[in-house]
């Protein structure tokens, strides 16, 4: 099973939703980077369940333990191992799912691929696996901000058919964190919360779109042709549970424009080359061009819902399933820090790859 990500800044996540714990090993982080347990914990607190009435009721503090690779709040250059112990697992909620497959969940495909599956919580298919990504992403984000001043901000742009209008160039983390749905548009955030509430009470779920921006990204990141920056960002975000779509810059909307409308004109500014528009989303030819990198990720409605659904049992017989357990009626509010983490991991990896390339060339 492919549980590793990155080339120079590498991570390997491990653990299962209802096992003893989950975690990550980070390899390739440079030494003497200042990072504290509290900085990592702050990001995990944004991801953890039980934050509000519109998230999972699972009660987990998600307290991170740094087992190696950090001494006196400085990285040592050796592998950084981090652990979060599970404390509120309820495997009994999944007993019926031992013999029945949840529609649109990974139960059926994991069984088909491996001939065995972890029933409680879905095992590795659970979004609880992303704890390791967020912990590692906190280190990657600190590296990027320290060496290049990079800032990454993600936010909920759309829930169902409610879509906010947000300027990626100016949106702030403080504005995003100002409400429980993590949408910086206060008026539409209220409508989104109401929609999630209604959906939750009906035992159903709803999806949406997260937009993210990375500002002050160095020029020249990306490794064409197969490791283009947008290709690696797409892989990173599409690897997230429930993510079904990815766009960069103008995305699919750009197909409605002519080249004369879509091209980003260059102009000189204070000794550097800039573009007057940013329909490229900060990436041209698979390489960062110095403008803001803007991406969007589409997340489907949560597969596990509390309504009765048609399905089959493990013998292939038609049956029905009314799932139990504690699940998010909408994954997007808690996915915001996960999207930021995956962007940070990709950009940190490409930053180190570019530094290594320039070192070989000089």
Query: Any idea what the CATH number is for the domain that residue 190 is in?
Result: 3.60.150.10
Number of residues written out for the chain:
362
pLDDT tens-digit map of 218-241 = 999 999 999 999 999 999 999 999
- 188: tokens are 């539409």
pLDDT tens-digit map of 287-302 = 999 999 999 999 999 9
Give bridge partners of residue 162 from the DSSP assignment.
Answer: 159
Q: What is the pLDDT of residue 350?
A: 98
Can you point out the beta strands (E) in 174-289? 208-215, 243-248, 266-269, 272-275, 283-284, 287-288
> Who has greater pLDDT, 120 or 172?
172
Residue 96, SS3? helix
Q: What is the mean pLDDT of residues 92-102?
A: 88
Q: What is the mean pLDDT of the chain?
A: 95
Query: At what angle are helices 130-148 and 332-361 packed, to 10 degrees?
Result: 50
Cβ-count burial of 10 within 10 angstroms (0-12 exposed, 13-18 middle, 19+ buried)? middle
Domain that holds residue 87: 4-361
Which residue carries 């960069």 as its tokens?
248
Distance CA(58)–CA(126), nearest Å, equals 13
| Percent of the chain with pLDDT strictly greater than 90 | 88
Q: What is the mean pLDDT of residues 349-355?
A: 97
Q: What is the pLDDT of residue 133?
A: 98
Give bridge partners of residue 151 from the DSSP assignment.
Answer: 215
Q: What is the mean pLDDT of residues 87-93?
A: 76
pLDDT range class, residue 362, cuts 50, 70, 90 = very low
> Who has greater pLDDT, 150 or 56?
150
pLDDT tens-digit map of 168-215 = 999 999 999 999 999 999 999 999 999 999 999 999 999 999 999 999
Domain count, the chain: 1
- 95: tokens are 């007993």
pLDDT at 361 over 70: no
Residue 137, SS3? helix
């Amino acid at each position: 099973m492919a549980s590793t990500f990155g080339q120079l800044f590498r991570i390997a996540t491990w653990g299962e939703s209802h096992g003893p714990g989950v975690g990550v090993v980070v390899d390739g982080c440079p030494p003497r980077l200042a990072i504290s347990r509290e900085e990592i914990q702050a990001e995990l607190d944004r991801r953890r369940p039980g934050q509000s009435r519109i998230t999972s009721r699972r009660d987990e503090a998600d307290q991170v333990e740094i087992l190696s690779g950090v001494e006196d709040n400085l990285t040592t250059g050796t592998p950084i191992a981090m652990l979060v112990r599970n404390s509120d697992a309820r495997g009994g909620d999944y007993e019926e799912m031992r013999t029945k497959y949840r529609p649109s969940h990974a139960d059926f495909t994991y069984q088909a691929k491996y001939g065995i599956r972890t029933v409680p919580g879905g095992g590795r298919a659970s979004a609880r696996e992303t704890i390791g990504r967020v912990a590692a992403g906190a280190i990657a984000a600190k590296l990027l901000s320290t060496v290049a001043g990079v800032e990454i901000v993600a936010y909920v742009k759309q829930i169902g058919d409610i879509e906010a209008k947000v300027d990626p160039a100016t949106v702030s983390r403080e504005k995003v964190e100002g409400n429980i749905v993590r949408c910086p548009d206060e008026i539409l955030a209220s409508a989104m919360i109401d929609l999630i509430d209604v959906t939750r009470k009906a035992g159903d779920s709803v999806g949406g779109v997260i937009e993210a921006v990375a500002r002050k990204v160095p020029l020249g990141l990306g490794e064409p042709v197969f490791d283009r920056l947008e290709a690696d960002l797409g892989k990173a975000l599409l690897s997230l549970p429930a993510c079904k779509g990815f766009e960069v810059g103008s995305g699919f909307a750009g197909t409605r424009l002519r080249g004369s409308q879509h091209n980003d004109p260059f102009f000189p500014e204070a000794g550097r080359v800039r573009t007057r528009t940013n329909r490229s989303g900060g990436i041209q030819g698979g390489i960062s061009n110095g403008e803001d990198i803007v991406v969007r990720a589409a997340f489907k409605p949560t597969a596990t819902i509390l309504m009765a659904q048609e399905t089959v049992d493990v013998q292939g017989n038609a049956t029905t399933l009314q799932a139990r357990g504690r699940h998010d009626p909408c994954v997007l509010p808690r996915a915001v820090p996960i999207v930021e983490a995956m962007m940070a991991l990709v950009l940190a990896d490409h930053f180190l790859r570019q530094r290594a390339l320039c070192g070989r060339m000089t």
